[in-house]
Structure 1
Amino acid sequence: GMVLPVVLRLHKTIIHQIALTILLVFVFVHKTNYYVSDRIRDTIIGALVAIIIHIIIVPPNYVKEARRTLTQFGIDLGQLFKKAAYWVNNNCEFVEGENLIDDTTNLLQELHQVEKEFEKAEKSLRLNPFGRNKKQQLKQNEQFLFQLKHGYTYISGVLTTFNDWSETNSLPTVDRQKWAVQLQVLGEYVTKQANQNLENGAINKSSLDLLDLSSIPLQIRIPPELESHRHQLSLYNDTLKLIDKLETK
């Protein structure tokens, strides 16, 4: 009786209950011939009652927890943007840059936790017949999470770029100030969206455009003659950074 649940790698709580059932059968089967059938009947009744309670009366709902972790991630991401703006404005000091890299690593772990919470929330709503509104809220928050992922990817990349740029001693003060303003604006926008998510319980469709340039003024302009080459320059820089990392021993 114990071999099967161990082979199937069931949860340890289930294995404990199976072991207890086997022990009780050994103890009481000699006193009553109906104990085994009674035990099976009670188990089935208990399972049915638990299913009814969890599906109809008190269905599990992890959407609120998923939204809470998402909001905290958005706030922390906005703070990272603001810290990066301060760092760029202060000539990209090495020590502050190392602290930002640590913050980026911690934020990635936080992002993984948010994704786990969303997966758990989605599973909790599969058998919930009354969770249609919750599913809609979860879907809207998933869209916001998708956009925050892009925000995280962006800030992770530009931190490395600014660090490399500052080491060349060719980062003009005017450009540093403009980029600092740009990062500050992005950070404030992300933080505002996260706080709105916390207050409203769900993101409004009209506020889902995280990178809407009508709401986020673009501070940086490149020379017109480079406009047609911006994609090639971006790919060149990203490839150059990758090769540099691969060559690092």
Structure 2
Amino acid sequence: MPRYRLTVEYEGTKFVGWQRQATGRSVQSALEEAVAGFSGETVSIRGAGRTDSGVHARGQVVHLDLEKPWSPFTLLNAVNAHLRLARDAVSVVDVVETDQNFDARFSALRRHYLYRIINRRAHPALDWNRGWWVPKPLDHAAMHAAAQVLVGKHDFTTFRSVQCQAKSPVRTLDRLDVTRVEDVIEIRATAQSFLHNQIRSFAGTLKLAGEGKMSPEDVRAALEARDRRACGPVAPPEGLYFMKVEYPGD
């Protein structure tokens, strides 16, 4: 039974999230239906990470097993054809055949995310639902300085959802950089794994730093409080992008 690794991008606005649910359209179900549409096989697709409703992806990675072997070229084109027919905002951008030891979730070494803040007075037209619009000026250098407090191995209780199902709040954050390109502030985060709402919690807190309402010392105190109430507001989902997953051998 051949196993395939797919790299997928999607626009998350109209989806209930990555994971298949009893109600609403999910990215997972869209892909599974597209595979079934051309292959006739019912598959269960595993993703490298679960994204919430409204969150986008440029480099989500999934794997699936099929009874019948297909060339990666055929698989890519056939799945995309069915996604277009269904008018789903999902695209498979790469397919490779892999071995049974590969697991999109558990084989991952690092995951990379981007959070975009559109920081200008005028509301976005072309980027609506593709970034968090913040009309008040933000100091991205102050945001970056505050972000460095969070890099490293910590108990991130303050920065995870109360509904997070992870067994431990301890994670090692490899990178949290804040840069600016014209009107767009980019927050880039890298770690092996993240807690539920962790990056959006970071973004909301760093926004306060950009407004001058929190210093790096305040962010450190919030981290050390291990108290969800010390976190800034959770940033909206439309600014978050799942960018890339690293695996052994890449």
TM superposition score category, shorter chain reference:
under 0.3
More strand by share: 2
TM-score (norm 1): 0.25
The structure number with the bigger radius of gyration is 1
Q: From the two aligned structures, give the one with the greater helix fraction.
A: 1
